Structure 1
């Protein structure tokens, strides 16, 4: 825990605020030290809603499954700040989405897999342990032992997507939550609002949010400035001006985000370089190699070999 910058009591008490970057480091460190790349996946599968603290108790106290998921999505940023959780319908299916908004938190796979497992257990509490989604989506690349993900969720699992999501059929949302408690629900919501800061999520630094939207857009190819500006609700010229105030052009920031992710992906030996290039939004592997060489002075294949020799 100390290596991640956390005190033991911060983990033991689910109502205490924890720095998200430190928490993600803790989860990634746990996966590395245990030698279990799917540490977060299986930890999340056994993580019951009560262990989530106030946000879990709010979901359980909600009158119906639909209201529990609404409350989970609406209030989760108070439980875990600089994140975004959405619950909505698209193409005839429901989506419960989760992603980290802080672009500086690069390695976040364990957190994503744990969180979707916790979300799934809220649905299982109402619909039974046999409930399974139609599919599961993760923003990180497909790991070598990805079949375990399909076994854990009993559903097809897709990687390299824009966000992390449980996707399921629009039914049984009116089913009553087993632990519904309308008398306690307002008090729990008020307490979470107080613990989480009251007025809403922590304001994320401008550059961190831009990095986050660039990262999310890479799954769809080269992240065009117009699309990122729209996601940030800014005119293109305003985005360009504010980036210039921080000493960046848009293309420079895109390359930095790509190269930071590339370093994390190169540490995963199961990922071919061509797949990494695609995950980073490059049209072809040669474009990835040129950009990587500009930043690090060596091609990605040599960087991978050097890091493997050190480890």
Structure 2
């Protein structure tokens, strides 16, 4: 364990309060992107992440931004299996509190249980469970955030993280019985079989890792430390207590996303959905330095880029999903945001 894990944050450090994913999940991401030839400013800027946030492992990143930065890194580096490769080398200790709650456990079986139970404090809007299937444990993972349409890289990264927790004890040649992914089979899917050394199936209901129970029996964690485990669990609990309520800005965005396909979002309707008066919502948004129309614009921009990357959708099909009654209105707005038309943006190879 690094000595600094429980040192108090310096006065200038942001307050830990997880409403997305703890930035420990991006430990070493900047170096990994650079190693694969990516432009950090472009990758992080496109995903709306300030690299300074990565210096504070208990600071929260927006889950949509986190998933987007992985997808963007895959596109810009030309490494289609970016998440798979990043997860292959991601060791448990790099996960900060979540990693150490596993590493300090008594046995490997307890480590998997503690890891699964602590995961909701590490990342929100996510299904995470360890299911007893008799001969095997099934480790399930699935992002459940309405704004996240692209999440393949994150899923492959997370399965790699879970695998490496087991390999920390059983050695680098350990392999799960089977690996399942909810996304479709990628072009270089043979790399997945090589990384996991196991059968890999795609287009499944959930991302899962099947772990034979007999391989866990009697396996003691080499770094077992009951006192440290207690401290780590307490630190995780405090993170949960710091998360004292829903993030108003994110709730506003999610409600806008939900209602966009019905047309132009109306302040009164969004405020009512949040149990606020119109003036109260406007006042709270001003605390974030935003107006209601700016929030709507941000949501539309994010969704527009996500939809445009799905080559199966035409520009005319996309416009109504963003609340525009006419394609021309969407095209004008897009050019105002990005300086080019949606069609020109889609035709740019780097996008």
TM normalised by structure 2 equals 0.59
Residue in 2 that maps onto 1:113: 156
Greater relative contact order (Cα 8 A, min sep 6): structure 1 or 2?
1
Q: Which runs of 4+ in 1 moved over 3 A?
A: 196-209, 262-267, 292-297, 305-311
Q: 1:167 aligns with which of 210, 225, 229?
A: 210
Q: 1:43 aligns with which of 51, 66, 86?
A: 86
Task: Indicate the larger mover: 184-193 or 55-64.
Answer: 184-193
Structure 1 vs Structure 2 CA RMSD: 3.4
Shift of 1:294: 12
Paired with 1:165 and 1:76, the residues of 2 have a C-alpha distance of 15
Residue in 2 that maps onto 1:59: 102
SS of residue matched to 1:183: helix
Question: C-alpha offsets along residues 19-65 of structure 1, whole Å, 9 cap, x if unaligned?
Answer: 11111111111111101010110010000001001010110000011
1:176 paired with 2:220, answer yes
Q: 1:82 aligns with which of 122, 125, 137?
A: 125
SS of residue matched to 1:97: strand
Paired with 1:52 and 1:201, the residues of 2 have a C-alpha distance of 24
Residue in 2 that maps onto 1:187: 231
Shift of 1:92: 3.2
Residue in 2 that maps onto 1:217: none
1:96 paired with 2:139, answer yes
Paired with 2:318 and 2:122, the residues of 1 have a C-alpha distance of 41
Q: Which runs of 5+ in 1 are unaligned?
A: 213-244, 247-259, 268-272, 274-287, 298-304
Q: Which runs of 5+ in 2 are unaligned?
A: 1-43, 259-271, 274-303, 327-342
Task: Indicate the larger mover: 81-90 or 191-200.
Answer: 191-200
Paired with 1:159 and 1:54, the residues of 2 have a C-alpha distance of 31
Bigger Rg over Cα: 2
Question: C-alpha offsets along residues 88-115 of structure 1, whole Å, 9 cap, x if unaligned?
Answer: 1226321011111212111111111111
Residue in 1 that maps onto 2:71: 28
SS of residue matched to 1:103: coil
Paired with 1:196 and 1:52, the residues of 2 have a C-alpha distance of 17
Residue in 1 that maps onto 2:37: none
Q: 1:138 aligns with which of 166, 181, 184?
A: 181
Question: C-alpha offsets along residues 222-241 of structure 1, whole Å, 9 cap, x if unaligned?
Answer: xxxxxxxxxxxxxxxxxxxx
Paired with 1:99 and 1:137, the residues of 2 have a C-alpha distance of 11
Equivalent pair of 1:101/1:208 in contact (CA under 8 Å):
no
Shift of 1:3: 2.2
Shift of 1:85: 1.0
Seen in structure 2, the aligned counterparts of structure 1 residues 264 and 152 have a Cα distance that, compared at 3 Å, is farther
